[in-house]
Amino acid sequence: MSILTAAADVLRCFSSTRHDVTVTDLVTLLGMPKSNASRLLRAMRDEGLLETVGDSKRYRPALLLAQVGQLYRFAASLIDRADAVVGCASNVIGHTAYVSVRRGTEIIAVTAHPGRHALRVVTSIGDRIPAFASSTGRALLARLSDEDVRALYKDGFTAPSQTAPRDIDELLARLAEVRSAGFAESHDEAVRGVHAISVGVGDPATGDEVALCISFPAAMVEPGERLAIINSLAEAAAEIAALTQDKRFFPLKLSLSETAP
Amino acid sequence: MSILTAAADVLRCFSSTRHDVTVTDLVTLLGMPKSNASRLLRAMRDEGLLETVGDSKRYRPALLLAQVGQLYRFAASLIDRADAVVGCASNVIGHTAYVSVRRGTEIIAVTAHPGRHALRVVTSIGDRIPAFASSTGRALLARLSDEDVRALYKDGFTAPSQTAPRDIDELLARLAEVRSAGFAESHDEAVRGVHAISVGVGDPATGDEVALCISFPAAMVEPGERLAIINSLAEAAAEIAALTQDKRFFPLKLSLSETAP
DNA sequence: AAGAAAGTTCCATTAAATGGAACTTAAGTT
DNA sequence: AACTTAAGTTCCATTTAATGGAACTTTCTT
């Protein structure tokens, strides 16, 4: 086992509730001998990975890590990152997941991860669907203000199915729901029997916005699994939002009726 | 020499112009054997320090580093506080503001708030500039004793421009001015046509020190506005100094010639 | 399909990491 | 101020990992 493993473990000790570590912290958290902990922290400081707080025995991440971490944002584009987390979620859940972007009033899938189930939703990359009549679309439209949405749909629209919004007021009401709940949902809208759950996230630095979506046959998913899907999507999106410091991100807020069995 | 040294060297290869590295990049940049480079990159990926770009042979910083780097700001809460007040000042004034730290004889920008004006100073985070030849640098050097400054520059330096200090004595004279005035100022030093005003502040509890800076095109700012900038910066820094009980803080003291119209 | 360039694996040699114990320093306690 | 305990550092023989040259494989180029 390389010392790199130990060094990475040290980095993983840091969290929002632990901004610095000491020798004894490492002993208790990682179960390593005091001697190792002492030398490792010093070595990491000497290499510029950590720095001591003042001249105390406390160590915290150093500037180098802040700089390299900053680069991660640019190195991995928003779509790449969204694709990575959504692919992971798809693997766990087994249903089809994809990443979409909005261009005007249309939604375009940019990456897809087909599910493992025999009955699965197949989304082809590049397909265009109307934004107002899909969960991905509403997840992204919810990031706009109501007046921006009205401006976008100043010529109105016609609902393609029973469950899609009929007019702009109905659309705005559903966008308000998306904002308060933290996710968008559709069933039987674009395709009969298909249920979809989406969460939107953006990167203020580049202006990009994407929707993460998991789509599945409505008949196949029980309430508990639906909640699991919502949770995993929201978690994945929240991770990205934290990274990009997305201020327009709507965190998950499950209502009582949602959380009840 | 530990493998940590090599790993830290790899991290230092990343920059705003190099978002990912390959085996051959390391061979040329660090002069290490191909075999080492290959194994090192793989090991760093296995430990979660790097990730491969798609399934190519390119490596970039991984999420772990982004997360730990993010913590740096909060660990060094002084930076966070400075960023908040400086961002506020930038909003009011409309010019570019940033927070910098000193590492030896170099100054590194850690956070930036771009101005609103069409002609604005753009500072990229992570850029290194010489401390003696910048307002941010002198704001921080002024917090040292003259003998510490002499020790730091025992090998001397060469002025990069006409308006920068020529030698150590000239630098010390300008640091004395900074201490009595309560702010540092530069024009045409790092970049022609750019004027900058900085104030330094520290936190005795952690030993951290930062410079708050507002930077603008020299041609754009009239004497009155310059005074407003000095005042807002000094006020913001004084607020932090009061909070941290910074005893080495130099309060604003405008001379008669400054206050006169 | 041949050639070149980039990356990986192998292996004996060299160098670093390990963990227990002794030692030093810092922080309470009486 | 002397005592006690906790926290951190250094030492050393042993174990384990890193090194770099060369052979090998993959990938790109013409």
- HEC secondary structure over B161-202: CCCCCCCHHHHHHHHHHHHHHCCEEEECCCCCCEEEEEEEEE
Residue A84's φ and ψ, nearest 5 degrees, are -60, -50
d(CA B153, CA B170): 13
With 0-12 CB in 10 A as exposed, 13-18 as middle and 19+ as buried, what is A219? exposed
Please state, rounded to an integer, the average pLDDT across all residues of chain A.
86
CB B37, CB B9: distance < 8 Å? no
Confidence of residue A139 (pLDDT cuts 50, 70, 90): very high
For residue A16, the chain B residue with the least C-alpha distance is B71
**pLDDT exceeds 90 at position A144:** yes
**pLDDT exceeds 60 at position B171:** yes
Q: What single DSSP character describes residue A15?
A: B
Residue B256 is predicted with a pLDDT of 53
The distance of A250 to chain B (nearest Cα, Å) reads: 20
For residue B203, the chain A residue with the least C-alpha distance is A54
Q: What single DSSP character describes residue B135?
A: H
**pLDDT exceeds 50 at position A244:** yes
d(CA A197, CA A95): 11
Q: Is B21 helix (H, G, I), strand (E, B) or coil?
A: strand
CB A102, CB A131: distance < 8 Å? yes
CB < 8 Å to B16, chain A: 71, 74
State the SS3 of A156-185: CCCCCCCCCCCCHHHHHHHHHHHHHHCCEE
Q: At what angle do helices B34-46 and B3-13 cross, to 10 degrees?
A: 90
Confidence of residue B23 (pLDDT cuts 50, 70, 90): very high
CB B210, CB B200: distance < 8 Å? yes
Query: What is the Cβ-side half-sphere exposure of residue A129, based on CA atoms within 13 angstroms?
Result: 22
d(CA B36, CA B32): 7
If we measure between CA atoms, which residue out of A82, A46, A74, A78 comes closest to residue A62? Answer: A46
Confidence of residue B261 (pLDDT cuts 50, 70, 90): very low
As a rounded value in angstroms, the CA-to-C1' distance for A47 and D13 is 27
Which architecture characterizes domain B3-67 according to CATH? Answer: Orthogonal Bundle (1.10)
**pLDDT exceeds 90 at position A222:** no
**pLDDT exceeds 50 at position B168:** yes
Structure tokens at B21: 């590295």
* Alpha helices (H) along A112-253: 135-141, 146-152, 168-181, 223-244
The distance of B246 to chain A (nearest Cα, Å) reads: 14
Residue A260 is predicted with a pLDDT of 45
CB atoms B73 and A54 under 8 Å = no
Q: Which residues contact B126 (CB under 8 A, 6 or more apart)?
A: A67, A70, B15, B16, B108, B109
**pLDDT exceeds 70 at position B123:** no
**pLDDT exceeds 50 at position B260:** no
Tell me which amino acid residue B49 is.
L
Classified by CATH at the fold level, domain A3-73 comes out as Arc Repressor Mutant, subunit A (1.10.10)
What percentage of chain B has pLDDT greater than the value 90? 43
Q: Residue ranges per domain, chain A?
A: 3-73, 76-256
**How far lies B1's CA from each of A43, A46, A99, A184, B18, in Å?**
10, 12, 45, 54, 26
d(CA B175, CA B138): 6
Report the residue from B4, B49, B73 with minimal CB separation from A43. B4
For residue A48, the chain B residue with the least C-alpha distance is B8
Q: Is A152 helix (H, G, I), strand (E, B) or coil?
A: helix
Q: What is the mean pLDDT of residues A75-92?
A: 82
Q: pLDDT tens, B62-110?
A: 888 988 888 887 777 788 889 888 888 888 888 888 899 999 999 998 8
Q: Which has more confidence, B206 or A154?
A: A154
**pLDDT exceeds 90 at position B207:** no
Neighbours of A22 (CB within 10 A): 16
CB < 8 Å to A44, chain B: 4
Q: Which has more confidence, A154 or A127?
A: A154
Please state, rounded to an integer, the average pLDDT across all residues of chain B.
87
Neighbours of B106 (CB within 10 A): 15
Torsion of CA A221, A167, A111, B18, to 10 degrees: -130
Identify each DSSP E strand in A106-155 by its residue range.
Answer: 106-113, 128-130
With 0-12 CB in 10 A as exposed, 13-18 as middle and 19+ as buried, what is A148? exposed
Q: CATH says A76-256 is which class?
A: alpha beta
Q: CATH says B76-259 is which class?
A: alpha beta
Lowest mean pLDDT among A36-45, A112-121, A237-246, B8-17: A112-121
Q: At what angle do helices B63-75 and A63-75 cross, to 10 degrees?
A: 130
CB < 8 Å to B7, chain A: 4, 7, 47
Residue with tokens 């790899």: B10
CB atoms B3 and A3 under 8 Å = yes
Residue B122 is predicted with a pLDDT of 66
If we measure between CA atoms, which residue out of A66, A65, A68, A101 comes closest to residue A82? Answer: A101
The answer to whether strand C lies under 7 Å from the CB of residue B52 is no
Residue B259 is predicted with a pLDDT of 53
**pLDDT exceeds 90 at position A125:** no
Q: Which has more confidence, A1 or B246?
A: B246
Q: pLDDT tens, B242-255?
A: 878 788 999 998 76
